[in-house]
C-alpha cells in the first residue's frame, strides 16, 4: 500500500503479486483473502492506466467473493464499486453506472441508512453522471452524499471537504462560478482544520479553486492557487509523483489561456518529464501531456512540432483507450485543426472524417457488418453522417 501511495507502482505490484502467490499456496482457492489480493493488484493496474488488467483482477476478486460471502455482504459492494471505477476511466459510463447501482443496492440492504459507505456510493454515481455531462443528476447525488456525511461524520471530517469539493466542481461545469467558489472554499476550510499544513490532500482544493478562477478569466488568482498547490505537493510527495505532474500541467493550462505560450510549454514539458518516469509509456495521462504540448506549438505557429506531439498523443490514446473513447475524437479534431492552419485542407478533412468514425462507428448508424469494414469502405456513409450533423446543427 505504501509503494502505491508513493507512486511506486511497479514495486507495489511486485509486493502484491508475491502476497498472492503465498496466499494461493496457504489458503483454499476461494478464501476471501485471495479476493483481497486480486483487488489490491487491480488497484495498482488502475493507477498505472492498465485498465483491462485492472478489470480482469477486479472481476476475479468479485468471483471469489460471490462464492465465499453472503449475497449482500459489503465487500461485494466494494467489488462492484471498484469495477465501476475502471469502466469510468475507460469511458464506459453506462457499464460504470450499472455496477455502481448494484453496489448501492447491496449497501442499502447491508448497512445502516446513514453509513458513510452509502455516501461514497452516491458520490461515485454522481461522478459518472458528471462525466456524462448530466450535471443536474450529478448535483443531486452529490448533495445526497453530503447529507449522509453530515449525519455520519464529525463536522470537520476530510470526507465532508471532499463532498463540498465535488459539489463545487459540478457548479463549475454548470458555469455557476460563485456557487462553485463558495463550495470549494468551504472544502478548503475543512481541509485546513482536518489535515496537517502540508498534507497532499490540501493541494486538491487549491487546484480546483484555480480551475474556477481560470474559467472566470481571473488568471492571476488561478496561478496563485496553483502555486500553493504545487508547494504543498513538493513538500509532501516524492519528486516524480504523478500529482506533481498534474500541478505542472495545470499551471501550463493557465499560462496557455493567458497566451503566455513559452511559459505554458515549459510547464507542460516538466509535467511530461515526470509522467515519463512515474507512469507506463502508454498511460492516458501521457496522451494528455502530448496533446497539450501539441496545441501550444499550434498556437505558436510551429505546426510540424504540433503535429508530432498530437500524433504521439493519438498513438498512446489508441493503445490505452477503448476505440470509441471521446478523447480519440478530440485527438483527430486537434490534428485536423493544425492541418487547417497549415492550409492542408484535404488532410484536415480526412482527420475530421476520423472524428466521425470514432463517434459513430459503434453507434446505431452502422450495422454489425459495416463495423468490421476498413475505414475507406465506409467513408461515404461517414460523409453522410457529417452532412446530417451540419444540417441538424
Contact 101, 126 (CB under 8 A): no
Instruction: Identify the CATH number of the domain in which residue 208 sits.
Output: 1.25.40.10
Return the C-alpha cell found at 304. Answer: 510540424
Predicted confidence at residue 352, as pLDDT, reads 75
Please tell me the distance from the alpha carbon of residue 104 to that of residue 76, in angstroms, as a whole number: 10
pLDDT digits (tens, 9 = 90+) for 193-241: 999 988 999 999 999 999 999 999 999 999 999 999 999 999 999 999 9
In a domain, 386, yes or no: no
pLDDT digits (tens, 9 = 90+) for 267-310: 999 999 999 999 989 999 999 999 999 999 999 999 999 999 99
In a domain, 114, yes or no: no
Predicted confidence at residue 355, as pLDDT, reads 65
pLDDT-derived band at 357, boundaries 50, 70, 90: low
In a domain, 47, yes or no: no
Q: Is 255 exposed, middle or buried (0-12, 13-18, 19+ CB in 10 A)?
A: buried
Contact 366, 360 (CB under 8 A): yes
In a domain, 212, yes or no: yes
Q: Is the pTM of this model over 0.85?
A: no
Predicted confidence at residue 322, as pLDDT, reads 83
Helix (H), strand (E), coil (C) string for the chain: CHHHHCCCHHHHHHHHHHHHHHHHHHCCCCCHHHHHHHHHHHHHHHHHCCHHHHHHHHHHHHHHHHHHCCCCCHHHHHHHHHHHHHHHHCCCHHHHHHHHHHHHHHHHHHCCCCCHHHHHHHHHHHHHHHHCCCHHHHHHHHHHHHHHHHHHCCCCCHHHHHHHHHHHHHHHHCCCHHHHHHHHHHHHHHHHHHCCCCCHHHHHHHHHHHHHHHHCCCHHHHHHHHHHHHHHHHHHCCCCCHHHHHHHHHHHHHHHHCCCHHHHHHHHHHHHHHHHHHCCCCCHHHHHHHHHHHHHHHHCCCHHHHHHHHHHHHHHHHHHCCCCCHHHHHHHHHHHHHHHHHCCHHHHHHHHHHHHHHHHCCCCCCCHHHHCCCHHHCHHHHHHHHHHHHHHC
Q: Is the pLDDT score of 374 beyond 60? A: no
In a domain, 205, yes or no: yes
Nearest alpha carbon to residue 35 among 3, 77, 12, 68: 68
pLDDT digits (tens, 9 = 90+) for 14-56: 999 999 999 999 999 999 999 999 999 999 999 988 999 999 9
pLDDT digits (tens, 9 = 90+) for 129-149: 999 999 999 999 999 999 999
Please tell me the distance from the alpha carbon of residue 153 to that of residue 151, in angstroms, as a whole number: 6
Range from 260-264, 312-316, 326-330, 354-358 carrying the lowest mean pLDDT: 354-358
Contact 252, 222 (CB under 8 A): no
Per the structure, the count of domains in the chain is 1
Q: Is 259 exposed, middle or buried (0-12, 13-18, 19+ CB in 10 A)?
A: exposed
| Cα–Cα distance list, 65 to 148, 357, 378 (Å) | 27, 40, 45
Q: What's the domain range around 159?
A: 153-234
For range 126-131, the mean pLDDT: 96
Predicted confidence at residue 5, as pLDDT, reads 52
pLDDT-derived band at 327, boundaries 50, 70, 90: confident
In a domain, 251, yes or no: no
In a domain, 275, yes or no: no
Q: Residues near 137 by Cβ (< 8 Å), separated by ≥ 6? A: 126, 129
In a domain, 158, yes or no: yes
Amino acid at each position: 500500500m505504501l509503494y502505491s501511495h508513493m507512486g511506486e507502482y511497479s514495486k507495489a505490484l511486485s509486493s502484491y503479486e508475491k502476497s498472492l502467490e503465498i496466499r494461493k499456496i496457504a489458503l483454499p482457492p476461494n478464501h476471501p483473502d485471495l479476493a483481497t489480493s486480486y483487488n489490491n493488484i487491480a488497484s495498482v493496474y488502475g493507477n498505472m492506466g492498465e485498465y483491462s488488467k485492472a478489470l480482469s483482477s477486479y472481476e476475479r476478486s468479485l468471483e471469489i467473493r460471490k462464492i465465499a460471502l453472503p449475497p449482500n455482504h459489503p465487500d461485494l459492494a466494494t467489488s462492484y464499486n471498484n469495477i465501476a471505477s475502471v469502466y469510468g476511466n475507460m469511458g464506459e459510463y453506462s457499464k460504470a453506472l450499472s455496477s455502481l447501482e448494484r453496489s448501492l443496492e447491496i449497501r442499502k440492504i447491508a448497512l445502516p441508512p446513514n453509513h458513510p459507505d452509502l455516501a461514497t456510493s452516491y458520490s461515485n454515481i454522481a461522478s459518472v453522471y458528471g462525466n456524462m455531462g448530466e450535471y443536474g443528476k450529478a448535483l443531486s447525488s452529490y448533495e445526497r452524499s453530503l447529507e449522509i456525511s453530515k449525519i455520519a461524520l464529525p463536522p470537520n471530517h476530510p470526507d465532508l471537504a471532499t463532498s463540498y469539493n465535488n459539489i463545487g466542481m459540478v457548479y463549475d461545469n454548470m458555469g455557476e462560478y460563485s456557487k462553485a467558489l463558495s463550495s470549494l472554499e468551504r472544502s478548503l476550510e475543512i481541509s485546513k482544520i482536518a489535515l496537517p499544513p502540508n498534507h497532499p490532500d490540501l493541494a486538491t482544493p487549491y487546484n480546483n479553486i484555480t480551475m474556477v478562477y481560470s474559467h472566470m478569466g481571473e488568471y492571476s488568482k488561478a496561478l496563485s492557487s496553483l502555486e500553493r498547490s504545487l508547494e504543498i505537493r513538493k513538500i509532501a510527495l516524492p519528486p516524480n509523483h504523478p500529482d506533481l505532474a498534474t500541478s505542472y500541467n495545470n499551471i501550463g493550462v493557465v499560462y496557455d489561456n493567458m497566451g503566455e505560450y513559452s511559459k505554458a510549454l515549459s510547464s507542460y514539458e516538466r509535467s511530461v518529464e515526470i509522467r515519463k518516469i512515474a507512469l507506463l509509456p502508454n498511460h492516458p495521462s501521457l496522451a494528455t501531456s502530448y496533446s497539450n504540448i501539441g496545441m501550444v506549438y499550434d498556437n505558436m505557429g510551429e505546426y510540424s512540432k504540433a503535429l508530432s506531439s498530437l500524433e504521439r498523443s493519438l498513438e498512446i490514446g489508441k493503445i490505452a483507450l477503448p476505440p470509441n473513447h471521446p478523447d480519440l475524437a478530440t485527438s483527430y479534431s486537434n490534428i485536423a485543426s493544425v492541418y487547417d492552419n497549415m492550409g492542408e485542407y484535404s488532410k484536415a478533412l480526412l482527420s475530421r472524417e476520423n472524428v466521425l468514425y470514432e463517434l459513430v462507428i459503434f453507434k446505431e448508424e452502422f450495422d454489425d457488418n459495416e463495423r468490421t469494414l476498413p475505414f475507406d469502405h465506409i467513408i461515404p456513409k461517414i460523409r453522410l453522417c457529417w452532412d446530417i450533423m451540419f444540417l441538424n446543427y
